[in-house]
Amino acid sequence: MNAIEISMIEDLKKSLEKHSNIQENTARESLISLAVENKEAILTRNGSLATWTPTHSTGRSPKDTYIVRNQKTELNIDWTSPNNIGMNPQTFALIFEDALKIIQNKKTIYTTDRVIGADSKYALPVKTICDQALSQVFIDNMFRPVPTDIEKSIFAEEQFYLIALPQDKLEKNRYKGLVRDLPNGETSDICVVIDFDKKIGIIIGSSYMGSMKKLMFTVMNYLLPFKGVLPLHCSANEGSNGDSALLLGLSGTGKTTLSADPERALLGDDEHGWSNDGIFNFENGCYAKMIDITPKSEPEIYNAVMHDDDYRNHGSIIENAMIYPNGDIDFFDDRLTQNSRASYPLKFLKNIKESSISGHPNTVLFLTADAYGVLPPVSKLSKEQAMLWFLMGYTSKLAGTETGVTEPQATFSRFFGQPFMPCNPNIYAKMLGDKMEKHNTNVYLINTGWSGGSYGTGSRIKLKYTRAMVDAALKGKLNQVEYTKDHLFHLNVPSSCENVPTEILNPINTWDNKKEYHKTAEKLAKKFSEGFDKAYGKQDILPEIVSQCPGK
């Protein structure tokens, strides 16, 4: 650590030592009770906790999320990515100074020691400092207990400090010209900021609890590649023979549904690392979307949140869902937000692998919901193709989901998690290619979207067929079939797949209007080419990867 880094952490420690009421590593049951007593949450009929945030905090605040530009780390970060917003060290020093003042003025401060990472060799110690007991219940749900062999971790002496003050605000006049200007000319009073050098993250003004989780996810995604570990925004599960699989996909692609397989134990639903030893979950719990959920549609998630228990043993947190005065919960009411969430420990699910660690993945699935209806429902990717689709992270928005969206729109989120992947893109892409090659891992693109036409004309590919394709990929059955080349999208399409009608494997077969298919396919390929040029035109991407981009 350099002198400034040590100084800041020492200042933080002294501030905590001076505080008159620090609750350190308070037991889970006590934190839950305090959250209720302090009116930070209310009890539901089943014993879980319910809370609501201000309307500006029903989701992340990407335009108020910053990375401090330090000489030591600056060259490793892709500043051309729209989510990597730089902050100068002087502004961070002001925010840190204000955070210490806010801490001193709080009646009670709660601190918790946890780690990120199920494999103790790569576990990152993190001390979370909050003024709300409910925040620490969330941390207890999501971050992992410190393992007994933490001294083996490569990060054993690299503890990270997370300060979360969700109900406070930045003083607008003090930060004029230093943080984001709002459309009305005022200065934003919210910040979510990471200083990788100083190992400190600060959240002020964002009540969305996912801000804490995603900040630490971003930290791991920055640190791990330099330790030989590929961080991935994905779910993971393991078969009865110990064969593991990773499922990557943006919201709406079916990642949660498809990773919940009765024949495969879940390692985790969102964040994993792929090391030289295998894969491991970052987290201790899940932070699941609750909009439109029913016991039939997502039985495991629903039961994890809604099972009956004494509230002190429960601790699931329902965030921003409608609850009526009689206690009924309406997960279909989206008037506050479509992003209602629930946090709960993995142990509340039935079919999990408790260690959250497995060997090298036999199979990686990239999930996309193609609303244009032109991508094959399943394709096998070569190393270069996989690196390209990993770089692009494609899915599509549907007409009607946002104001002004009248037809499907191509959406690209690099590595299926753009806001949380701060490093230069070739770092992540090369690691994927190298690990695929070294461990003989098969990568498949699974289209869970439309067939027979675009959204509004065609129909969603039946879930039973998608499950059959996933099953065939996981069991190695797609290694035994012939493939044809889709030259527009540079994909290898199987000629057959068990329990799937052969005619749907080539999407043109499902369109009545073949000319319209070709026109739509060309349109999407052009969007890929333009999207690639915009994101990576000035990046040093190998020609053999560029050549696999649709439209090129």
- Which candidate in 270, 370, 471, 486 is catalytic? 270
For residues 266 and 125, the answer to whether their CB atoms sit within 8 Å is no
- Which candidate in 256, 358, 396, 413 is catalytic? 256
Q: Tell which residue, 547, 225, 224, 534, has the closest CA to residue 387.
A: 547
Asked about 435 being catalytic, the answer comes back as no
| Cα four-point dihedral sign 202, 206, 207, 210 | negative
Asked about 251 being catalytic, the answer comes back as yes
Q: Tell which residue, 259, 255, 254, 220, has the closest CA to residue 239.
A: 259
Q: How many CB atoms lie within 10 A of CB 159?
A: 14
| Cα–Cα distance, 447 to 455 (Å, whole number) | 13
- Which candidate in 198, 233, 414, 435 is catalytic? 233
- Which candidate in 106, 114, 144, 341 is catalytic? 341
- Tokens 């959240």 belong to 203
Asked about 45 being catalytic, the answer comes back as no
Q: Tell which residue, 157, 281, 193, 277, has the closest CA to residue 231.
A: 281
| Cα–Cα distance, 418 to 13 (Å, whole number) | 33
| Cα–Cα distance, 370 to 506 (Å, whole number) | 14
The 3-state DSSP class for residue 33 equals helix
- Which candidate in 106, 255, 264, 490 is catalytic? 255
Question: Residues with Cβ < 8 Å from 289, sequence gap 6 or more?
Answer: 251, 256, 339, 340, 341
- Annotate 67-82 with DSSP letters as a single string: EE--TTTGGGB-TTST
| Cα–Cα distance, 78 to 421 (Å, whole number) | 9
Asked about 60 being catalytic, the answer comes back as yes
For residues 489 and 388, the answer to whether their CB atoms sit within 8 Å is no
Q: Tell which residue, 453, 446, 457, 448, has the closest CA to residue 373.
A: 453
Within 13 A of 71's CA, how many CA atoms are on the CB side? Answer: 2
| Cα–Cα distance, 306 to 436 (Å, whole number) | 39
Question: Residues with Cβ < 8 Å from 426, sequence gap 6 or more?
Answer: 539, 540, 541
Q: Tell which residue, 190, 201, 171, has the closest CA to residue 61.
A: 190
- Which candidate in 48, 57, 60, 314 is catalytic? 60
Tell me the helix, strand and coil percentages in the chain, rounded to 5: 35, 25, 40
List the helix and strand counts (H, then E) for the chain. Answer: 13, 30
> Which pair of structure tokens corresponds to residue 483?
């493939």
- Which candidate in 214, 264, 314, 353 is catalytic? 214
- Which candidate in 72, 101, 152, 251 is catalytic? 251
| Cα–Cα distance, 535 to 135 (Å, whole number) | 36
| Chain centroid, CA 177 distance in Å | 31
The neighbouring-strand residues paired with 494 are: 483
Question: What is each CA distance from 405 to 234, 396, 519, in whole angstroms?
Answer: 27, 11, 20
| Cα–Cα distance, 340 to 291 (Å, whole number) | 6
Asked about 307 being catalytic, the answer comes back as no
Asked about 270 being catalytic, the answer comes back as yes
Asked about 255 being catalytic, the answer comes back as yes
- SS3 of 385-404: the string is HHHHHHHHCEEEECCCCCCC
> Would you please indicate which residues are annotated as catalytic (active-site) residues?
60, 214, 233, 251, 255-256, 270, 341
